[in-house]
Amino acid sequence: MKQMKKLNKKKILNFLNHITTTLLFIVLIGMLFIVISSKASGGEPEVFGYQLKTVLSGSMEPDIKTGSIIAVEPGGDMTRFQPNDVITFMEEDGKLITHRVTEVVESGEEILYRTKGDNNNAEDLNPVLSENVVAEYTGFTIPYLGYLVNFAQSQNGAFLLLIPGILLIGYSGWIIWKALREIDSSNKQDTKEEKGNSLIS
């Protein structure tokens, strides 16, 4: 009975070890990917042609929560959008906004969009020129991850990324050392048993 309990305890510990290692590895690789991708592109990280952008306002709640990461698709014909589409556009001060199209306005050869945040009481003050639209929101969002990404892209955050890396390397080294000890111990036990058997024969 005691032996069974020990075996069960060992299985649980091994399972927790695997989970811990996997989580550390995922966090490390994910953060490294985000930082490297954003540095390489000179801005927001990209995955398979989709840009990942951080939303730090609540204007599109409840669909897009404050601090979310969203995926947007850049490029294409920026005059194609219709009411209810969600677009990312650049304001005059260079700030990126993601809001919903409420109306399409044709002014001569130009196409403009009236936009509004779902959580705002009124439409945005200025219509958006189609040439100022940079991407279309795909509907993919991860709540609250934006806070972590913003921090990871800062100097302090990039430095702190070393911590899960060091922990992972140290933990992996300890696991390897432990496994080698067990193999060595098992080999010594086998050698003793062989010697004992040869003496008996």
Whether the link from the prior residue into 74 is cis, omega within 30° of 0, is: no
- Known catalytic residues are 57
Give the whole-angstrom CA distance, residue 70 versus residue 73: 10
Give the chain as a DSSP string: -HHHHHHHHHHHHHHHHHHHHHHHHHHHHHHHHHHHHHHHHTSS-EETTEEEEEE-SSTTTTTS-TTEEEEEEE-S-TT---TT-EEEEE-TTS-EEEEEEEEEEEETTEEEEEEE-TT-SS--SSPEEGGGEEEEEEEEEETTHHHHHHHHHSHHHHHHTHHHHHHHHHHHHHHHHHHHHHHHHHHHHHHHHHHHHHHH-
